[in-house]
Amino acid sequence: MKKNVFLLLAATLILIAGACNEIKTGDGNGRIVLKVTDAPFDISNVESALVKIVKVEIRKAGDGISDGNPFLTLSEDTVTLDLIDLRNGVTETLLDLEIPSGTYDLLRLYVDEAGLKMKDSEEIYTVKVPSGSQTGIKIFLHPGLEVSEGNLEEVLLDIDLAKSFVMRGNPMHNNGFIFKPVIRAANMAMAGSIRGLVTDTAGVKIGEATVWVEKDTVLSTAFTDTLGYYAILGVPAGTWTVAATKAGYDTVRYDGVTVVAGNKTVQNFELTKK
Per-residue confidence (pLDDT) for residue 26, from 0 to 100: 67
156-176 burial string, b = 16+ CB within 10 Å, else e? bbbbbbeebbeeeeeeeeeee
The domain made up of 192-271 has a fold known as Immunoglobulin-like (2.60.40)
Q: How confident is the model at residue 121 (pLDDT cuts 50, 70, 90)?
A: confident
- CB distance 212 to 220 below 8 Å: yes
- CB distance 107 to 114 below 8 Å: no
- Across residues 36-41, what is the average pLDDT? 59
Phi, psi for 84 (deg, rounded to 5): -65, -30
Tell me the per-residue pLDDT of 192-218, one tens digit each, with 9 for 90 and over.
Answer: 999 999 999 999 999 989 999 999 999
Query: Which region among 56-60, 109-113, 177-181 has the lowest average model confidence (pLDDT)?
Result: 177-181
- Judge whether residue 124 has pLDDT over 90: no
Q: Pairing mode, if any, of strands 79-82 and 97-100?
A: unpaired
Which of 217, 218, 248, 212 is CA-nearest to residue 230?
212
CATH 2.60.40.1120 domain residues, the chain: 192-271
Say how far apart CA 252 and CA 196 lie, in whole Å.
14
- CB distance 183 to 220 below 8 Å: no
The pTM of the full predicted model, rounded to 2 decimals, is 0.77
